[in-house]
Amino acid sequence: MHELNVPARLRNLSVGGCMVDIDLAESIAISVKQEIPGITLEFPNGVSFFAAGKVRHIRPLGNQGYAALGIEFINLTTSQTEALFQYVNEAEREAAFRTGTNDKLTHHSPLFVAGAKEKKLLQREAQNREKRARQSPMERGVVDVSHQLQVGLMHMRTRSVFPSELFYDCVDTLRYLVEQDRKTFLYALAFLRDEPDWVRHAVQVAGQLADMLLARDPHSPQVREAVLGALLHTMGKPLLISAELPSLKVNMNPAQKAILSGHIEELNRKLSELNWVPSPTCREVIEQANERLDGSGYPSGKHGEQLSTLIRLVTVIKAINKLLHGRNGEPPRSPLKAYRRIHETSAAYDKTVLIEYIQVYGLYPIGSLAKYSAGFLAWVMDTDSKGIPKQVNIVKNLSFPDTNISSVISEGDLSQIGELQEIVNPADYGVKVIKV
């Protein structure tokens, strides 16, 4: 109550309840048998209905990024029941008219005549379909991994099953994408910016870990288990959602931060409950990804030689990724400032790994947003041997800030947009990644 609002699309309606689609990201706050204080159904003409409900079932909808939620209406008054009968009858009448099964019906039900708000929603849906059509196979592959990770979490929470095949499929997909075209893959990782923070962080860290481990040794037997550990590591956070911690999106108070710091223990508890035993390499990444060389990490405060070469790599990738993205009210840092921050953190991180990371990804990493002196903003798509962008996708001309563009240019034409000035935060300029 008064904590969380979840948008949904009504798919089925009866006097007893309804079926709705919700974003997978929202499903972490919902469980079977949970009572929902209020459900508001709003019809196309603007008429609305409100009732309390109880969740009866929840399941993922393929690879579409949604979950289907079955809700039973509870504590209905006589007037609410009468209104429901009317709405169900009108819905059936509308269905009969649209399918042509009743020749006597000659026009739409008034309930389903779109008002101004509905027309805007329909227009937005059409735009999203166009955006989806423009997505490259690599972008769709990366987004699909993020959706599958959330589906796996749903299985763990609602069905008490650890879907190991699904998670290993995510790992194998990431490895395949890296080996197919690593630069296009790194660019696609940026399209996760609008996914839930724990998902974005997990997939981006796992993707970069796969990239760096394969560059070190393409035949390393530990790659698969290490990447699985990186994907699972943050999953304890959504498992901690409760009345005390209703959402991971908010700026947390000290008590909520303290709850969240137990995410590794919570994940281990859940894995034990589901009778799944991770391999030694996978467990090592899950449990030690937040440790530091100087012992200032958590949960065990390990330091120095207690941290393997694998963990030294994982900790640097994770730390840089956190700094590059805003969290808990702190704005994101530019790559250069993130590297400086890691370097200045005394003996917490392995400096040789930091240097290796900078050599691999440079000061203008693929997938970051660059600002050019002629007033253009562009996503970095490819870089040369010195780490300088050689192919970009221009998305905004700051002389016309309300207009979005999409124009890919390469080395010969880059002089037209001026000199590269800096890497900037997309949110500062209203630049959004397509989320479909």
Q: How far apart are CA 225 and CA 168, in angstroms?
A: 9
Q: Quick check: 61 pLDDT over 80? A: no
Do 304 and 326 fall within a single domain?
Answer: yes
In a domain, 132, yes or no: no
- Tell me, what amino acid is at 420? L
Local structure of 346: helix, strand or coil: coil
In a domain, 171, yes or no: yes
Go through the chain and tell me how many residues it has. Answer: 436
Do 165 and 240 fall within a single domain?
Answer: yes
Closest CA to 356 of 184, 181, 190, 215: 215
Do 187 and 289 fall within a single domain?
Answer: yes
Do 32 and 168 fall within a single domain?
Answer: no
Q: How far apart are CA 200 and CA 237, in angstroms?
A: 13
What b-and-e string marks burial along 274-305, b requiring 16 or more CB atoms within 10 Å of the CB? eeeebeebbbbbbbbbbbbbeeebeeeebbee
Q: How far apart are CA 164 and CA 159, in angstroms?
A: 14
Which single residue is written with the structure tokens 């409950």?
273
Say if CB 150 and CB 24 are below 8 A apart: yes
Give me the pLDDT at residue 119, please: 67
At 50, is the pLDDT very low, low, confident or very high (cuts 50, 70, 90)?
very high
- Tell me, what amino acid is at 74? I
Q: What percent of the chain has pLDDT over 70?
A: 92
In a domain, 406, yes or no: yes
Alpha-helical (H) ranges within 233-362 are 236-239, 254-260, 263-273, 280-288, 309-324, 335-344, 351-361
Say if CB 135 and CB 434 are below 8 A apart: yes
* CATH code, domain with 263: 1.10.3210.10
Do 156 and 93 fall within a single domain?
Answer: no
Do 119 and 251 fall within a single domain?
Answer: no
* Domain span including residue 26: 8-126
Phi-psi region of 117 (alpha: psi -120 to 50; beta: other; left: phi over 0): alpha
Task: Please state the φ and ψ torsions of residue 421, each to the nearest 5 degrees.
Answer: -100, -50
Say if CB 260 and CB 252 are below 8 A apart: yes
Do 73 and 207 fall within a single domain?
Answer: no
Give me the pLDDT at residue 128, please: 60
Range of weakest confidence among 112-121, 125-134, 298-307: 125-134
* CATH code, domain with 40: 2.40.10.220
Say if CB 152 and CB 166 are below 8 A apart: yes
Task: Please state the φ and ψ torsions of residue 68, each to the nearest 5 degrees.
Answer: -95, 130
Give me the pLDDT at residue 402, please: 81
| Average pLDDT value for residue range 358-376 | 94
In a domain, 434, yes or no: no
At 136, is the pLDDT very low, low, confident or very high (cuts 50, 70, 90)?
confident
In a domain, 435, yes or no: no
Q: Quick check: 346 pLDDT over 80? A: no
Which single residue is written with the structure tokens 């010195």?
386
pTM of the model: 0.82
Range of weakest confidence among 59-63, 154-158, 404-408: 59-63
Q: What is the pLDDT of residues 201-210, one digit of tens each?
A: 999 999 999 9
Give me the pLDDT at residue 436, please: 42
- Within 8 A by CB and 6+ apart from 360, the residues are 211, 212, 215
What CA–CA distances, in Å, run from 302 to 128, 220, 281, 421?
A: 47, 25, 17, 40
Q: How far apart are CA 151 and CA 169, in angstroms?
A: 12
Q: What is the pLDDT of residues 31-47, one digit of tens each?
A: 899 999 999 999 888 88
Beta bridge partners of 424: 369
Give me the pLDDT at residue 112, please: 82
Tell me whether the omega of the peptide bond preceding residue 196 falls within 30 degrees of 0, making it cis: no
Do 46 and 189 fall within a single domain?
Answer: no
Instruction: Indicate the DSSP class of residue 318.
Output: H
Do 274 and 357 fall within a single domain?
Answer: yes
Do 227 and 183 fall within a single domain?
Answer: yes
Mark which of 80, 107, 126 sits at the end of a domain: 126
Give me the pLDDT at residue 280, please: 96
Give the angle subtended at the CA of 144 by the CAs of 139 and 145, to the nearest 5°: 105
Do 183 and 327 fall within a single domain?
Answer: yes
Range of weakest confidence among 4-13, 25-34, 118-127, 183-192: 118-127
Say if CB 310 and CB 287 are below 8 A apart: no
Q: How many domains does the chain have?
A: 3
Say if CB 363 and CB 380 are below 8 A apart: no
Q: How far apart are CA 301 and CA 295, in angstroms?
A: 5
Say if CB 274 and CB 162 are below 8 A apart: yes
Q: What is the pLDDT of residues 150-203, one digit of tens each?
A: 999 989 988 889 999 999 999 999 999 999 999 999 999 988 887 889 999 999
Tokens at 77, concatenated: 């008054």
Determine the distance from the C-alpha atom of residue 90 to the mean position of all C-alpha atoms in its chain, rounded to a whole number: 37
Burial class (CB in 10 A: 0-12, 13-18, 19+), 6: middle
Do 146 and 278 fall within a single domain?
Answer: yes
Which single residue is written with the structure tokens 């901690």?
240
Q: How far apart are CA 223 and CA 414, in angstroms?
A: 37
